[in-house]
Amino acid sequence: MTQGSDATADVAPRPSPHEGHPQPLGKVVIAAGAGHFVEWFDFGLYGTLATAISLHFFKAGDTHAALLSAFAVFGAGFVMRPLGGLFFGSMGDRLGRRTTLALVVLITSVATALMGVLPTWQNIGVIAPILLVILRLVQGFAAGGESSGATALLAEYAPPNRRGFVSSFVDVFGFLAFVVGAGLVLAFTALLGEDALNSWGWRALFLVAVPLGLVSLYLRMKLEDTPEFRAVKEKGKVVGNPLRTSLQTSWKALLFCVCFVVVKAVGHWTLQTFMPSYLQTELGYSAISSYGALVIGLLFIMLMVPLFGLLSDTVGRRPVMIAGCAGFIVFTYPTLTLMSSGHFLAAAGALIILGVFMAAFDGAMSAAMAELFPTNIRYGSMAIAYNISVAVFGGITPFFATFLITSTGNTFAPAFYVMAAALVTLIAVLRARETYDAPLAIE
């Protein structure tokens, strides 16, 4: 993979992230991960509850039309992500990672809690979905600063020979958020029934954001900024306009980062958001079976991601990422046909198969992105590239996958979208150079 800057990089030896620093790495991982957990629990819960939301915020009638509308609002949150990435990424490179990440989790938690108390279509008519869209836009704006910031934080604290392993915990906590979110929906449905979930339970789940947000905000505010960022400040290397600097010196790295994220965005939102509705609406699974299979699949991914991160520290980022892309290209269509058997074990097994390739790609990619850019523009560069790709490809995934089915009549049509995304990323990875053994540069 190419280094992030064409200018001569300052790679003079600096203190290890642990030398003379009072905060153990485990504390940093927990603080970064807790905020990331909240961010994706809040942001992803909407997708998991899309079926229930479609009953309350859109005019009663065609079930497919209501679900498409719910997924369209889901996609609206992604529209704001590049703007959020630009705003928070620039803030993170100028003011530091800690303060920026604390603000991100605060905004997201407030927006999610407000979703839990919104009046519905039955109460105020068309104003209800308008308010829902506004809150999704706020969520998306805040989410634009989360993944890249958490990745930068962990990569800059990590020992050089364990950067892949440590950085992979961004995705571990992200998948844990979806496991907990889907698990809560599953438990609620099993204990109180689908009618209770659809009538009032969805509100209670959104309101869980309040205590989770307070805890993660506290943990992030107790952190100090990374040794890498503090070295940038001490050397006077902080730049006033990180995005402009990135476009001038690291435009190739930005393109690589955009392409890396394509399969991550499509794969994540296919598995985490589209799949529960797909299993129920298209393949006839019960709510309990679909959420149960999803929890098993996501839990498997969560456990496998750090193992692939560790592997990428040994063999390099490229081989692991290539394996993930190739797996999606070869196995996505067969796994969807496997799900169509209607058996719970078939659905769970299919999600586990796809989960292997998602975990492989995610395990290596976080560190790979961080290594593309020097410290003084890392947060902002990753934020804008990551969120452009997620907005274009990830945000439309649930809507576009549903549209492909309704327009073609082919239940397995979404597989081709996932396969195409994997091919785009595979080409980029094949053209990139390896960076796992290179030091992080200041500028």
Which CATH number do you get for residue 344? Answer: 1.20.1250.20
Report residue 145: phi and psi, to 5°. Answer: -105, 0
Are 212 and 38 within 8 A, CB to CB? yes
Q: Is 214:34 a contact under the CB 8 Å cutoff?
A: no
Task: Give the 3-state secondary structure of 202-220.
Answer: HHHHHHCHHHHHHHHHHHH
Q: What sign does the dihedral 152-158-160-164 (CA atoms) show?
A: negative
In a domain, 242, yes or no: yes
- Full domain range(s) for residue 183: 25-431
Question: Tokens for 40?
Answer: 């994706």
Residue 406 in domain: yes
Position 123 in a domain: yes
Whether the CB-CB separation of 98 and 67 falls below 8 Å is answered with no
Structural domain contains residue 271: yes
CA 389 from chain centre, in angstroms, equals 12
Strand ranges (DSSP E) for 291-376? none
> Could you tell me the CA-to-CA distances from 417 to 200, 206, 392 in Å, in that order?
35, 30, 13
Residue 17: name the closest of 213, 167, 202 by CA.
167
- The count of other CB atoms within 10 Å of the CB of residue 421 is 26
Is the residue at 142 inside a domain?
yes
Q: How many domains does the chain have?
A: 1
Please answer whether residues 387 and 87 qualify as being in contact, where contact means their C-beta atoms are separated by less than 8 angstroms: no
What tokens does 406 get?
């309704």
Q: Hey, how many other C-beta atoms are within 10 angstroms of the C-beta on 409?
A: 8
Distance CA 193, CA 168 (A): 36
pLDDT on residue 431: 94
User: What does each of the 443 residues of the chain score in pLDDT, given as a tens digit?
Assistant: 544 444 333 433 444 444 444 567 888 999 888 888 887 787 667 767 777 777 777 766 656 666 667 777 767 777 888 999 999 999 999 999 988 999 998 998 898 889 888 898 778 877 888 888 888 889 889 988 988 999 999 999 999 999 999 999 999 998 898 888 877 887 888 887 778 877 788 888 888 888 988 998 998 888 888 889 999 889 888 888 888 898 898 899 999 999 999 999 999 888 877 888 889 888 888 888 888 898 899 899 999 999 999 999 999 999 999 999 999 999 999 999 999 998 999 999 999 999 999 999 999 999 999 999 999 999 999 999 999 998 888 878 878 888 899 899 899 999 999 999 999 999 999 999 899 988 887 77
pLDDT at residue 439, as a whole number: 85
Domain presence at residue 13:
no
- CA separation for the pair 92, 152 (Å, rounded): 10
Judge whether 434 and 371 are in contact, CB under 8 Å.
Answer: no
pLDDT at 67: 67
- If you search the block for the tokens 């298209």, which residue do you land on? 282
Q: What is the C-alpha separation between 346 and 412, in angstroms, rounded?
A: 15
Six-digit token string for 361: 């790609």
Helices (H) and strands (E) in the chain, counts: 23, 0
Look at residue 192 and tell me if it is in a domain. yes
Q: What is the pTM of this model?
A: 0.83
> What local confidence, expressed as pLDDT, does residue 23 receive?
65
Residue 299 lies in a domain: yes
Task: Kindly provide the b/e burial profile for residues 89-117, where b requires at least 16 CB atoms within 10 angstroms of the residue's own CB.
Answer: bbbbbbebbbebbbbbbbbbbbbbbbbbe
What amino acid is encoded at 327 in this protein?
A: G
